[in-house]
Amino acid sequence: MNAAMPVNLLDFDANGMERFFAGLGEKPFRARQVLGWIHQRGADGFDAMTDIAKGLRAKLAASAAIEAPQVVGDGAAPDGTRKWMLKVDGANAIDTVYIPETGRGTLCVSSQAGCTLDCAFCLTGKQGFNRNLTTAEIIGQLWLAERLLSESAGARPQGRFREGRHVSNVVFMGMGEPMLNYDSVMKAIRLLCDPQGMDIAQRRITVSTAGVVPRIDDLGKEPVRPELAISLSATTNDLRDRLMPLNQRWPLEELLAACRRYPLRPRERITFEYVMLDGVNDSDQDAHRLPRLLHGIQAKVNLIPHNPAPELPFRSSLEERILRFQEHLRTRGIPAFIRKPRGQDIDAACGQLAARTGDQQWTVVGGQ
């Protein structure tokens, strides 16, 4: 093992941690102890792990590390939303957004640096695609958010995660298409749900996809499975081809067929996200077509007012149009909700995430 390249323990789920410890000649229960120190107590080093022998702590210090992405930007909106820009390497950054609400806190995490999909209404795709994130870079967003939020609340350095988590819900709706980084995303989800890890219930984790059909089928077979959300935003193939080029690979018929065969737990629904674009996809005809498209699917619909950006050629639908659209869906028996925009002031709202890349652009936080 190369001491110059320590293994990042944030990259391991329970099975991976046990294999790593076996390679050190250690028993599996030691792996579970360390997993708990990292993800339940927020430890960022080995000296604090007081129930682990000094010899093992020294062995870990020589071969491993606990390294989250580096915070290079930290912004807070008047509505309480907080956005961190995180540096994942010398040329790439991602955005992570925390949304506090009454009774819960939601963290919107990124799965890729950039995005390949180039959806017309989303700013992330305009910066292109650089690479997939590792599991450590994905899980590190939650681990880091808990530490930063705890520090803001004045929690003591160790044991803070046990004193009350700030993040109760996780949504894979940040930068990138999660289904195109499937293995790393699923490893992160297993760690999120592990009682020795983050211990977040499956129903409190949501993965959003633009419609990578084979991976939707794969997700349905997972023993640990989050909620599924589909970014839809059009009711015809012609329009969806223009708004979401992925539709040319898996058109609406194939996408919705995958949703119909997707196994749902009792009372579970697939969420369909529909970005409301003025004069583009918000007509009465669209409102009539959408319930027909969703026939036979246990569905709910989130209507999302478009969040503006100078690089995007759209405006949000007017409020009365969104309300009319919602009412039509509800009269057809489809639960429909209007998502309140959060974090627009700091470009943290849906479709606005586009962390700049290049070292010369960083404004480093905390002197790092």
Q: Which domains does the chain have, with CATH numbers?
A: 7-65 (1.10.150.530), 70-361 (3.20.20.70)
Q: What is the DSSP string of 104-128?
A: EEEEE--SEEE-SS--TT-SGGGG-
Q: CA–CA separation, 253 vs 246, rounded Å?
A: 13
Q: CA–CA separation, 213 vs 256, rounded Å?
A: 9
Which tens digits make up the pLDDT trace of 290-328? 999 999 999 999 999 998 878 888 999 999 999 999 999
Contacts made by residues 251-259, CB under 8 angstroms, sequence distance 24+:
252/293, 254/213, 255/211, 255/213, 255/216, 255/230, 256/293, 256/294, 256/297, 258/213, 258/216, 258/217, 259/216, 259/230, 259/297, 259/299
Flag whether the pTM goes above 0.85: yes
Tell me if 250 sits within 8 A of 292, measured CB to CB: no
Tell me if 243 sits within 8 A of 252, measured CB to CB: no
Which tens digits make up the pLDDT trace of 131-167? 999 999 999 999 999 989 988 776 554 544 545 679 9
State yes or no: pLDDT of 225 exceeds 70: yes
How crowded is the C-beta side of 259, counted as CA atoms within 13 Å?
30
The DSSP bridge partners found for residue 87 are: 70, 93
Res 123: pLDDT: 85
Q: CA–CA separation, 129 vs 182, rounded Å?
A: 16
What confidence tier does 2 reach under pLDDT thresholds 50, 70, 90? very low
* Residue pointed to by tokens 């999302």: 304
151 or 366, higher pLDDT? 151
- Crossing angle (nearest 10°) for helices 14-23 and 182-193: 90
Mean confidence (pLDDT) of the chain:
89
Res 216: pLDDT: 98
Closest CA to 289 of 333, 249, 330, 329: 329
Which tens digits make up the pLDDT trace of 35-58? 999 999 899 999 999 999 999 999
- H-state helical runs in the chain: 14-23, 28-39, 54-63, 135-152, 182-193, 213-220, 237-243, 252-260, 284-293, 319-331
Which tens digits make up the pLDDT trace of 4-22? 689 999 999 999 999 999 9
